[in-house]
A and B are shown apart, each in its own frame.
Chain A
Amino acid sequence: MTPLGYARPRDVADALDRAAAPGAMFIGGGTNLVDLMKLGVETPAALVDVGRLGLDRIEELAGGGLRIGAAVRNSRLAADARVRQRYPVLAEALVNGASGQLRNMATVGGNLLQRTRCAYFQDTSADCNKRVPGSGCSARAGDHRNLAILGGSPACIATHPSDMAVAMVALDAVVNVRTPAGTSRTDVRELHRLPGSTPHIETVLAAGSLIESVDLPAPVEARSTYRKVRDRASFAFAVASVAAIVQLDDRRVRDVRIALGAVAPRPWRASAAEDVIRGESPSTALFESAIAAELADAEPLRGNAYKVPLLRNLVVRVLCELCGVDPPVRSLA
């Protein structure tokens, strides 16, 4: 039988040391990694548990921000009074994810680095360039109903499935990363790479990097919301989601931050849409043209083309509600 190493180190240096061994992987709650191990998709030689590294704290940052340890459980983060008060969009995103049991296990670091839910990635008998570079992509011809319309490539159209990360991208959160070489900081929005021709390289992190924490910048006076569209009322990944934060001045949008989920290989910051809106006076027409700008580069396929009107409707509705503009009355027929 293949032996599997497991360690629960008590200090970060030791953890990094162990993670440097060939085939070693960090494990948080294991809710994604262990499933993938059972499926034969991940085959680590050793697991390094991040649970005893003192990364389970939520700390104040100077200026009113928060530093969230990578091992903080999703349920605890969602329930934290400071998070609920200062970053309600994050709390909303968290409680919209997975189920109560999963959130009790899932960690912040693991949630950020969870793998795509593309069915072919999860099935070792199918072709997947992300799982086996160069093997092909079964999803293009097959089932891609919930895969990417933005940021994909001929090699891969997988989506990043997280809800939490979408809110973090809207909040301009920053990841603190440790490697044996030292610490570094990366914006969450830059954490995941676009697939290009190397979809198996998913993040900008060097092998063996430990996510130590996520910094949330000081909150701003703003209205925000997280809206998730899914195939059933609970316990389902998003087919599209949006985190939006709006700062209104009188009758103008002083600033807006929009992140989209389940439509791209990474939590997608809708900068093109933001640029259209910033400084303008809010209206349905403005929001329609903003999302149109964002979706100009969309590359929908047969099975996921519906995400284009879905995102448009969703983003327009959310922005209208946040800005106090009457949303358009749509009919389906």
Chain B
Amino acid sequence: MTSLDSALEVDAERLTDADGTLLRVDGPDKVTGRAVYAAEHHFADQAYAVPVTSTIAKGMIMAIDVADAEVVAGVLTIISADHAPVLPEGDDGELRLFQSHEVAYRGQIVAAVVATSLEAAVEAAGLVRIRYDEAPADVLLRTDHPRLYAPEHVNPDFATDTTVGDVEAQLAQADVVVDATYTTPGEHNNPMEPHATIAVWDAGRLTLYDSVQGSQRARRAVAAALGIDPDDVRVVYQFVGGGFGSKGSSRPQAIVAALAAREVDRPVVCVVSRAQMFTMTGYRTPTIQRVQLGATADGRLTATAHDVWEQTSTIAEFAEQTAVATRHMYAAPGRRTTHRLVALDVPTPAWMRAPGECPGMFALESAMDELATACAIDPVELRIINEPDLDPETGTPFGDRRLVQCLRDGARRFSWAERRGRGPQRDGAWLSGVGVASSVYPARAQTSAARATAYPDGRWLVEIDAADIGTGSRTALLGYAAECLAVSADRVELRIADSALPAAMIAGGSMGAASWTWAIGKACAELQQRLDRSDGSIPALGIAVEVSTKDEVAALPDVSRFSFGAQFVEVRVNTDTGETRVPHMLGVFSAGRILNPVMARSQLIGGMTMGLSMALMEEAILDVELGYVVNHDLAQYHIATHADVPSIEVHVLDGGRSDLGRAGAQGVGEVGIVGAAAAVANAVHHATGIRVRDLPIRLDRLLPC
């Protein structure tokens, strides 16, 4: 058992902790401001693009009046549907800017002002006058919407619906049935660094200094949107201030910058404002989820049905895979999962940390808690009783399923049985209680390439187009490369985050760590073999080996691979005010081999913290009449502050090893958020007897009115 929770002792010289674990190699640059983020690149003659966004949610642009805007000193051009190059058709309507006078949602980009200064561009953007013919907008997700449909598949390519056995018959015969509907609101990723791009054209080739989670998708998406060859696009993204999925795909500011730079023939920077982060950069769809569980009196599941309703936009389809986790969690002879989508007059939802698993497991793990209550079985035991031998959906063996160990270990550390058994505790106005939920996230890898070079002076170079979006991957990968080469980290130079480097998986789907270490491990091993075979002399230019993991990834055996976890939460609820506070969270995870315990700890506590925010605060407040999210800034859209997270403890099970490459690593970026909200809601129920099925658990949802 590795506790990731010990106090950090830092060896400042070597930038390691007391155990020799490498600490953030880029930490000093980041805290001193030397690390250059996308919008901080600077070109002498650069211009600034500022988007103008729609103020109606649906309708037609009748007139775009730029008379006052274009005379503002410094304005170079104004791009709009009246004045824009024709772009190719494509599936991502969010990137097909300025091609139509139709408005698909409030806050959609309808024009962009380009000027020699940011101030002039902002000023002129405010002077672009747009006359609309407004149509009634439809922005509210509901289960009886006439335009609901079954998408062809759910993100990225899972079956929309699945059925095993006769669910209805099982439910009809079950001793105990839980049938409940849960909702989660729209949630917005809001990484600290907003999306930003500087576009530089040079002889028909485009370089983007961008804030993305990976360059290969970005260059393909931007090339497709502009109708140019992906090989003519280079994406550089050395430092990225968070993404949480929202930077996994390219965003319109990259297209604005590229179009503007081509037109004005100089580098153009476009930075998304915080308010615009609530429209044009993706978000988690609101969900409505009905979960039905049937069980025997002693808690054995006989049926699981998970039906999901969610939204997309009218200009692109995104179908969150909300019920997919339910296919793999618990054994039951009957199971049904469905997803229905409706295209509303809203921005297109997209990936947000653990898309699918995160909202889906809030519903399933809440329902499991309801079942535990109904059967009068301890919620930890209920989960253990229903532990499957094989993957319930595929019948394939699990690679490394240690959910039961996570539950048992967490229960022991948390003194679960005693604290749960004691029942709610009162301290003045406060009632406290405890809750538990399981976590799950798929462990996968995708083909990646890497290059390793040996130099005669004993230095090594490792190159891979991997991303570090603030997770610490630059550090973890350097440590791993040094381990593979059996040298100390200061002899190795690692280059990442540039599409000119060997192509690799993006930082997404928790696939980075496995995909990248696989390629790096293979490159280093083959380089060692080359050196072993050679006479030992290395030319001045070095000896380089470049590899791809294509064959290995394709040859992976058919095994169900997941990371698992168990989260235990203590809550306090104020019976006068309904305020819920979370004094303690404890998570135990099984996630392959942990490459760098310090970085992994940040990821896991970060995920749990975000799950706490989801449980108690995060909520896009929709104004149905105006058709937009009203609380579009961080003063109104709340996420946890330090005071909200007094104590989070994480542990990982030892001896983990996945078969994804030599490192045996699995990502830990997402599993920590999954289940956290359910654990909080379950603890609130334990404390108060109130089952909150609609997130977030606001105080007005607990106060009797």
Contacts and interface: CB of A to CB of B under 8 A. Distances in A.
B630 interface: yes
Interface stretch (A78-86, A186-194, A232-240): A232-240
Contacts of B429: 317, 327, 330
A332 B641 contact: no
Given A142-B625, A310-B578, A231 B617 contact: yes
Interface string A17-50: 0000000000000000000000010000000000
Residue of A316, A332, A333 ringed by the most chain B CB atoms within 10 A: A332
Contact of B644 (A141, A232, A317, A329): A232
Contacts of B577: 229, 240, 310, 313-314
Interface stretch (A120-128, A244-252, A260-268, A275-283): A120-128
A282 B61 CA distance: 65
Contacts of B689: 331-333
B123 A229 contact: no
Interface string A312-329: 011011000000000101
Contact of B630 (A119, A234, A305, A313): A119
A143 B631 contact: yes
Contacts of B625: 138, 141-142
Interface in B615-649: 616-617, 621, 623-626, 630-631, 635-636, 638, 640-644
Interface string B417-430: 00000000010110
B551 interface: no
B264 interface: no
A234 B123 contact: no
B174 interface: no
A1 interface: yes
Given A143-B623, A232-B638, A234-B642, A1 B123 contact: yes
B563 interface: no
Contacts of B126: 40
Interface string B541-562: 0000000000000000000000
Given A125-B55, A126-B626, A317-B429, A233 B643 contact: yes
Nearest to A126: B626
Residue of A314, A327, A330 ringed by the most chain B CB atoms within 10 A: A330
Contact of B636 (A119, A141, A331): A119
Contacts of A232: 616-617, 638, 640-641, 643-644
Contacts of A141: 625
B623 A138 contact: yes
A306 B642 CA distance: 27
A249 B702 CA distance: 37
A286 to B, nearest CB: 17
Interface in A149-201: none
A142 to B, nearest CB: 4
A234 B641 contact: yes
B72 A1 contact: yes
Given A309-B703, A309-B704, A234 B644 contact: yes
A11 B626 CA distance: 47
B389 interface: no
Contacts of B644: 232-234
B688 interface: yes
Interface residues of B, number: 45
B690 A332 contact: yes
B705 A1 contact: no
A102 to B, nearest CB: 10
Interface in A1-26: 1-2
A117 interface: yes
A131 to B, nearest CB: 15
B119 interface: yes
A76 interface: no
A117 B703 contact: no
Contact of B626 (A1, A142, A230, A233): A142
Given A234-B643, A234-B644, A333-B690, A229 B579 contact: yes
A126 B630 CA distance: 10
Nearest to B642: A234
A115 interface: no
B380 interface: no
Contact of B621 (A143, A240, A306): A143
The interface residues of chain B, by DSSP majority, are classed as loop
Residue of B72, B581, B630, B638 ringed by the most chain A CB atoms within 10 A: B630
Contacts of A2: 123
A308 B704 CA distance: 10
Contacts of A40: 126
A310 B635 CA distance: 22
Interface in B249-296: none
Contacts of A237: 635
Given A143-B621, A234-B641, A1 B120 contact: yes
Contacts of A126: 623, 626, 630
Nearest to B685: A333
A327 B689 CA distance: 21
B700 interface: yes
B73 interface: yes
Contacts of A240: 577
Nearest to B424: A331
A145 interface: yes
B700 A145 contact: yes
B699 A235 contact: no
A305 B703 CA distance: 10
B314 interface: no
A233 B623 contact: no
B573 interface: yes
Nearest to A306: B700
B267 to A, nearest CB: 22
B698 interface: yes
Interface string A97-140: 00000000000000000000101100101100000000000100
A229 B703 CA distance: 13
B575 interface: yes
B26 interface: no
A138 B643 contact: no
Contacts of A333: 688-690
Nearest to B56: A125
Nearest to B619: A231
A263 B399 CA distance: 56
B576 interface: yes
Contacts of A1: 72-73, 119-120, 123
A332 B688 contact: yes
Contacts of A145: 621, 700
Contacts of A117: 635-636
Contacts of A142: 623-626, 630
Contacts of B704: 309, 332
Interface string B562-589: 0000000000010111110100000000
A333 B573 CA distance: 12
B573 to A, nearest CB: 7
A119 to B, nearest CB: 4
Contact of A306 (B579, B635, B705): B705
B699 A231 contact: yes
6 contacts: A117-B635, A126-B626, A234-B644, A327-B576, A332-B578, A332-B688
Interface of B: 55, 72-73, 119-120, 123, 126, 426, 428-429, 431, 573, 575-579, 581, 616-617, 621, 623-626, 630-631, 635-636, 638, 640-644, 688-690, 698-700, 702-705
Interface of A: 1-2, 40, 117, 119-120, 123, 125-126, 138, 141-143, 145, 229-237, 239-240, 305-306, 308-310, 313-314, 316-317, 327, 329-333
Given A1-B73, A331-B575, 8 more contacts: A125-B55, A141-B625, A234-B644, A313-B576, A330-B429, A331-B688, A332-B702, A332-B704
